[in-house]
Amino acid sequence: MTGRLRIVIADDERPARAFLARLLKECGDVELVGEAAGGAEAIALIESAKPDLALLDLQMPEVDGLSVVRLVKRSLLPLFAFVTAHDAYAVRAFEANAVDFLLKPVEPLRLRHTLDRVHARLARGADRGAAAERARQAAAQATSGDAEYLRRIPVRQKEDIVLVPVAQLASVVADGELLHLTTVDARHYTINYRLKDLAARLDPATFVRISRSALVNLDMLSKVSAMPGGTYLVTLTNKQQLSVSRQRARDLREELLKL
């Protein structure tokens, strides 16, 4: 067995954090190095404390457990396990390469099993960098299965996590594996995410594809200009202009340009 496990807890409910902390203190091979009351705080804590294991609540507001995994710097992403009151999330947890999945209220023997699994992984000395990258990619894909539409998009900016309100989002343009977000007041953000996965988490009554690489917020459209070849150029309220593909131009005519 490896030495003492350095662990952080992230849960937006104080009683849940306190309960889990008590269980951990009863384990002789554990050092609790910090607690976070939300996802953004968890990211900062993980990157500063550099724990062996992060116990993450899946359903924290604003920045949930899966987003924490996606946003922590790759070189600093520890092993992680998800904690939640709903077993319906178990599949997504393991799809995100989690060490384990714990149901609330966490049972001591079940937590012990999780800690033993962490010891085993650390003892094997696997490539943590490659595992972290797989986890980040899997977490991004797993979040695409959420039933509720996004209200805010967490964006990493150096040492900060910026929460971009979806209601202020004017467009999303894909550039390879990056997505460029532009707001109504022309602020720009970049995230590493697939366009089809983000589109699945945005309300289709508001956000529509105008090409293979672009989404626009219909509420931000100010002008649609006909172009040669049966296509269009859309102008948004922030003065941004984007081309509409020929296929999407037909959809635009049929769905949006009829009285």
**Per the CATH hierarchy, to which homologous superfamily does domain 152-255 belong?**
LytTr DNA-binding domain (2.40.50.1020)
The ranges assigned to domains in the chain are 5-145, 152-255
Residue 105 tokens read as 């209220």
CB neighbour list of residue 65: distance below 8 Å, 6 or more residues apart:
10, 39, 56, 57, 58, 59, 80, 82, 84
pLDDT at 91: 59
Rounded Cα distance between 234 and 241, Å, is 6
Q: Which residue in 182, 9, 143 sits closest to 63, CA to CA?
A: 143
Rounded Cα distance between 51 and 106, Å, is 20
pLDDT at 200: 83
pLDDT at 122: 87
pTM tops 0.85: no
Strands 178-183 and 188-192: antiparallel
E-strand spans in the chain?
Answer: 5-10, 30-36, 53-57, 79-84, 100-103, 152-157, 160-165, 169-175, 178-183, 188-192, 207-211, 214-217, 221-227, 231-236, 241-244
Residue 170 tokens read as 């004017």
SS3 122: helix
pLDDT at 137: 61
pLDDT at 1: 46
Average per-residue pLDDT for the chain: 84
- Place 93 in a pLDDT band, splitting at 50, 70 and 90: low
Give the tens place of pLDDT for each residue, 144-200. Answer: 554 468 888 888 887 778 889 999 999 999 998 789 999 999 999 998 888 888 888
Print burial letters for 30-51: b (CB count within 10 Å at least 16), e (below 16).
Answer: bebbbbbbbbbbbbebbbebeb
pLDDT at 3: 80
Give the tens place of pLDDT for each residue, 117-144. Answer: 899 888 887 555 555 666 666 565 555 5
Q: How far is CA 149 from CA 65, 179, 198, 200, 217, in A?
A: 17, 18, 10, 8, 14
Residue 187 tokens read as 């602020």
Task: Tell me which of 84 and 108 has the higher pLDDT.
Answer: 108
- Residue 96 clears pLDDT 90, i.e. is over it: no
CATH of 5-145, one of 3.40.50.300, 3.30.750.24, 1.10.443.10, 3.40.50.2300: 3.40.50.2300
Cβ atoms of 183 and 168 closer than 8 Å:
yes
